[in-house]
């Protein structure tokens, strides 16, 4: 047994119910009143007032052997070490095309002269350089086309007039 529920036809006359919030209208146009302190600021003020006492308690706990306190103290005294790029030396013939230079980098990885992280950095640099060379080439070609169009028999304005006639 199936029941058919008739749905009203969807027409342009059907209005959507008004929303609680109107698009483009701020519920608080004046913003937060000046001088109101939010929770984060209150917490920061409490810790700021007791910072010396907290630091002493953590230091004492670290001295007594609390490893979490030791970790906290050490992380604040010296920041964690970050990987530093070291100079690498391998043969790269920069007079060759970019694809050949990339092949040289891969060969240096294959022979162990270059680690993969350094190779990735060098290849990224080569890719960026290739994109810059390509942009310069496109710009030079565009300038040449513009000069050729300006020097043609119709001139640059002639081409514009032809386009205006077509419309």
Establish if 31 belongs to a structural domain. no
Assess whether 73 and 121 both reside in one domain.
no
Establish if 154 belongs to a structural domain. yes
Query: H or E stretch including 133?
Result: helix 116-150
Give dist(CA 78, CA 156) in Å, integer: 66
pLDDT at residue 144 is higher than 90: yes
Assess whether 161 and 102 both reside in one domain.
yes
Assess whether 102 and 154 both reside in one domain.
yes
pLDDT at residue 163 is higher than 60: no
pLDDT at residue 68 is higher than 80: yes
Give dist(CA 71, CA 116) in Å, integer: 32
Contact between 114 and 108 under an 8 Å Cβ cutoff? The reply is yes
Establish if 21 belongs to a structural domain. no
Listed range (5-14, 142-151, 155-164) with the worst mean pLDDT: 155-164
For residue 108, the enclosing domain spans: 98-166
Q: How many CB atoms lie within 10 A of CB 64?
A: 9
Establish if 158 belongs to a structural domain. yes
Compute the C-alpha angle 37/38/41, nearest 5°: 80
Assess whether 111 and 156 both reside in one domain.
yes
Assess whether 68 and 107 both reside in one domain.
no
Please report the pLDDT score of residue 8 as a whole number: 62
Assess whether 65 and 103 both reside in one domain.
no
Q: Residues of the chain with pLDDT > 70: what percent?
A: 82
Residues 4-50 pLDDT 10s? 666 666 665 667 777 777 888 888 888 888 888 888 888 888 888 88
Please report the pLDDT score of residue 11 as a whole number: 61
Assess whether 117 and 150 both reside in one domain.
yes
How many domains, the chain? Answer: 2
- Distances in Å between the Cα of 15 and the Cα atoms of 8, 11, 22, 44 are 13, 9, 15, 50
pLDDT at residue 61 is higher than 50: yes
Assess whether 155 and 106 both reside in one domain.
yes
Assessment of whether the complete model's pTM goes beyond 0.85: no
């Amino acid at each position: 047994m199936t029941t058919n529920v008739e749905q009203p036809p969807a027409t342009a006359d059907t209005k959507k119910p008004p929303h609680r919030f109107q698009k483009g209208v701020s519920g608080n146009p004046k913003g937060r009143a000046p001088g109101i302190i939010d929770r984060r600021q209150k917490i920061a003020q409490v810790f700021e007032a007791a910072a010396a006492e907290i630091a002493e308690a953590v230091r004492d706990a670290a001295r007594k052997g609390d490893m979490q306190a030791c970790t906290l103290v050490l992380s604040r005294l010296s920041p964690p070490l970050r990987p530093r790029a070291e100079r690498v030396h391998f043969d790269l013939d920069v007079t060759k095309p970019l694809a050949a230079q990339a092949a040289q980098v891969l060969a240096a990885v294959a022979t162990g002269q270059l680690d993969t992280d350094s190779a990735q950095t060098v290849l990224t640099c080569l890719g960026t350089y290739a994109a810059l060379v390509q942009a310069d080439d496109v710009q030079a070609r565009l300038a040449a086309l513009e000069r050729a169009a300006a020097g043609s028999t119709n001139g640059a304005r002639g081409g514009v007039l032809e386009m205006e006639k077509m419309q």
